């Protein structure tokens, strides 16, 4: 046993080579930094690609540097005997060409760079994808272009459909990608003390995203989800319940649609920062990713194949659920109907009730006018206690649960609604509302609650893809927006993000509905409140229009 405070002894000395340029088919030089054991021998290679510049690998572990998403590079090289290659994608870092956000040119570059790596005398001919977020986006495409040297991919926190999952939730424009791209451009260009400039990225991603409002060929080129069946290598898909606005849907759909040997892990990381922090820790890689890489890149008999296909962190009870399948066939939808009666548990626009009893003929409706004059930052209202996320929104809340209730799987909201407008937005949240003392309720203090899932839909984008949609998940075409007729009741089948969560006895399930959100509640993934969102929306809940929430309940 090593003495306390003794210097860590590594298996290998690490050699770093940079810049190493790989010439593409059109003559464009792609820059890489190569980390490898400084010894004679052939090693498996971990390959990472992004526009974040390999020089940022040297930054310390910190959530202030959210783009440093390569993991513990030195540990893989010095202690585990891997080489690690970090590629600056075309038009970023020191690479030539023009950046064009995951286009076909960039996808083909992955193929050529991986094959170049596979031919080197220090490579054993086996390459695996590694990395978070953009590094995960690139891994889906690495699998699709399928270079022979690629043997596995492990997209950690990676969308497969940047239109639906990131830029236009339910057809509603999200602010995140414009902010993200400006951050990337500044990082690539600016240097300390206005020193020698880095590379300017002229591509106007924010402008292109604003212009391409529907799911067209521009998006289709950059969304791997329709081509996931082309992936031939084993997959480890790792998502996080807290990344609903960016990557969660991608890791789940990626797992569902890839046909190769595969495993799914969804962690309990609550947000961007927890997911990022986790990927920087050696202990996480040692437990979750290293066995996968060792199995497929080194041929180790480490019982990787015997691990459960699906591992899900269950919120509410902070435990892991191990399964052989996803979605769970034994999970059965239970219907919770929106009701005009009050729950008397929360202060909101209506304080409606959510019940398992179907509504009656005179079940009525609930309306709200927008924008609410009491909204101060997005749709957040204010109470004497400060910011109040639910005071200015519609809520429908169950009575206290008599026993624990666990939901695992996809969620659907069937909403019967009308509007005074020709279009409207539905932004949905499901929350776990905690018990509250009668004294605090009398004082109009809001009960504590945790958001466990979200969903979105723009009314004009209600057209479903009849081929891809299923009874578990509506998929919208987002290709043919149609206005709604004011005053007419429509049925909107809204995809709400999957989750695994146990609502404890005496807790309540709360459904929240409004047409906007706030940086206070939704962090980086807010939606611009556009100028034409002025009017009145009505939610219907009677026997002819039984609005209902479908939750996947498991009993074991």
Q: What are phi and psi of 378, to 5 degrees?
A: 65, -140
The pLDDT of residue 6 is: 45
Our CA dihedral for 203, 204, 208, 210, rounded to 10 degrees, sits at 160
Strand arrangement, sheet containing 83-88: 14-23, 29-37, 83-88, 43-50, 123-129, 150-152
Q: How far apart are CA 258 and CA 345, in angstroms?
A: 44
Closest of 118, 184, 115 to residue 145, by C-alpha: 115
- The 10s digit of each residue's pLDDT in 477-512 is 999 999 999 999 999 999 999 999 999 999 999 999
Can you state the angle between helices 134-145 and 248-257, rounded to 10 degrees?
20
Q: How far apart are CA 352 and CA 390, in angstroms?
A: 12
Q: Name the average pLDDT for the chain.
A: 95
- The 10s digit of each residue's pLDDT in 29-61 is 999 999 999 999 999 999 999 999 999 999 888
Q: What is the 3-state secondary structure (H, E, C) of 16-67?
A: EEEEEEEECCCCCEEEEEEEEECCCCCEEEEEEEECCCHHHHHCCCCCCCCC
The pLDDT of residue 5 is: 44
Q: What is the DSSP letter of 228?
A: G
261, with CB counted inside 10 A (0-12, 13-18, 19+), is middle
The pLDDT of residue 64 is: 85
Residues of the chain with pLDDT under 70: 1-8
């Amino acid at each position: 046993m090593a003495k306390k405070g003794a210097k860590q002894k590594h298996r290998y000395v690490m050699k770093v080579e940079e810049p190493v340029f790989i010439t593409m088919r059109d003559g464009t030089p792609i820059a890489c930094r190569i980390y490898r054991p400084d010894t004679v021998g052939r090693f498996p290679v971990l390959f990472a690609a992004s526009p974040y510049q390999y020089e940022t690998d040297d930054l310390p572990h910190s959530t202030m540097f959210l783009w440093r998403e390569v993991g513990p590079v030195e540990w893989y090289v010095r202690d585990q005997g891997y080489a690690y290659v970090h590629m600056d994608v075309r038009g970023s870092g020191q690479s030539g060409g023009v950046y064009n956000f995951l286009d076909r040119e960039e996808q083909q570059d992955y193929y050529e760079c991986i094959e170049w790596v596979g031919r080197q005398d220090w490579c054993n001919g086996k390459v695996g994808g590694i990395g978070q977020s953009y590094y995960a986006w690139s891994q889906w495409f690495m699998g699709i272009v399928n270079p022979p040297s690629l043997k596995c991919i492990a997209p950690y926190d990676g969308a497969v459909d940047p239109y639906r999952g990131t830029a236009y939730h339910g057809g509603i424009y999200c602010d995140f990608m414009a902010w993200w791209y400006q951050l990337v451009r500044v990082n690539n260009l600016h240097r300390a003390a206005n020193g020698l400039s880095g590379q300017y990225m002229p591509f106007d991603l924010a402008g292109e995203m604003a212009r391409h409002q529907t799911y067209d060929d521009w998006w289709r080129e950059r969304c791997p989800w329709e081509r996931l069946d082309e992936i031939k290598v084993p997959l480890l898909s790792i998502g996080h319940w807290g990344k609903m606005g960016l990557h969660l849907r991608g890791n789940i759909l990626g797992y569902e649609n890839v046909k190769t040997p595969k495993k799914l892990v969804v962690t309990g990381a609550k947000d961007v920062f927890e997911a990022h922090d986790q990927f920087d820790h050696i202990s996480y890689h040692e437990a979750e990713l290293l066995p996968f890489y060792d199995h497929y890149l080194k041929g180790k008999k480490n019982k990787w194949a015997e691990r459960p296909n699906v591992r899900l962190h269950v919120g509410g009870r902070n435990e892991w659920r191990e399964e052989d399948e996803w979605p769970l066939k034994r999970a059965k939808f239970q219907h919770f109907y929106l009701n005009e009666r009050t729950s008397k548990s929360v202060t909101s626009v209506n304080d409606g009730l959510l019940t398992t009893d179907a509504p009656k003929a005179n079940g009525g409706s609930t309306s709200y006018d927008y924008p609410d004059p009491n909204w101060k930052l997005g749709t957040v209202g204010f109470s004497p206690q400060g910011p109040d996320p639910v005071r200015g929104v519609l809520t429908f809340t169950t009575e206290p649960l008599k026993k624990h209730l666990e939901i695992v799987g996809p969620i659907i909201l069937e909403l019967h609604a009308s509007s005074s407008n020709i279009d409207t937005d539905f932004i949905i949240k499901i929350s776990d509302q905690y018990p509250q003392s009668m004294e605090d309720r009398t004082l109009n203090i809001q009960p504590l609650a945790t958001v466990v899932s979200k969903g979105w839909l723009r009314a004009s984008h209600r057209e479903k893809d009849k081929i891809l949609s299923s009874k578990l998940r509506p998929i919208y075409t987002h290709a043919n927006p149609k206005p709604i007729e004011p005053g007419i009741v429509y049925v909107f089948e809204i995809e709400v993000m999957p989750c695994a969560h146990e609502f404890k006895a005496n807790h309540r399930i709360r459904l929240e509905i409004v047409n906007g959100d706030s940086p206070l509640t939704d962090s980086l993934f807010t939606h611009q409140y556009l100028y034409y969102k002025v009017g009145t929306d009505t939610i219907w809940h009677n026997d002819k229009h039984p609005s209902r929430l479908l939750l996947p309940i498991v009993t074991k």
